[in-house]
Amino acid sequence: MSASHDAQLALACLDYTRLNELDSEQDIHAFLAQLSASQPRPAAICVYPQWLEYVRKYVDTHFNWPLALATVTNFPSGSQPLEQVLAQTQEALSQGANEVDLVLPYKALIDGDEALALRYVQESKALCANNAKLKVIIESGELPLDLVAKAARIAIKGGADFVKTSTGKVPVNATLEAVEVILDEIQLSGKAVGVKVSGGVKTLAQAQQYLQLAVAKMGGAWVTPVNFRFGASALLDELYAAI
């Protein structure tokens, strides 16, 4: 496949993301202004919950196409109380979020508390069901591969629509090895669950490696925005240039 084809596919699967805690409205505006109405659209825009309404108004004003709004909960530490996380989720849904990226309490999982990790997913899913997709961030770079597999299984069991690698806020984020483990767990589950590669994917060449892995494991027809996403911001300009 050509670089242009791969760039179009990566863009279609892109969750265009801005998650900086100190952002101002001017920062968010500049981030959104990089999107081109003349180019194919990404799958979603991912921002903190407080920016959802602003992003929706911007998209409605500047583009003639719909765009999913994604946000994050329990982010980035994965250690907020469950009640707080559920309140965040409910508020995000009321603000129009179409997709919610929940950080699994991965530190609890490291300590052996699988039940707590599962509860976060199940109760978040109960709120999101019929309202929004739930993507579960397992923070794969903080886990050995056996725990990557276990975290993916917990996410899938709890009802995740996607298993997502990373917050992008830790030293090691997405890796090919972790994504392969996640894809293996999705295959074994037999469920319609996708994967989101997030953190550290900044070039088309890097994106192509993940696309090739997903095609090899799941088949070319599977690699669509329904099943496969990238979480990134730095990738956008290179994808536009390649297209």
Catalytic site residues?
101, 164, 196
Q: What does the angle CA 112 – CA 118 – CA 124 come to, to the nearest 5 degrees?
A: 145
3-state SS, residue 106 = helix
Q: Please state whether 159 falls in left (phi above 0), alpha (psi between -120 and 50) or beta.
A: left
Long-range own/partner contacts, residues 54-57 (CB < 8 A, 24 or more apart): 54/25, 54/28, 55/28, 56/96
CA dist list (Å): 128 to 41, 90, 115, 125: 24, 8, 20, 5
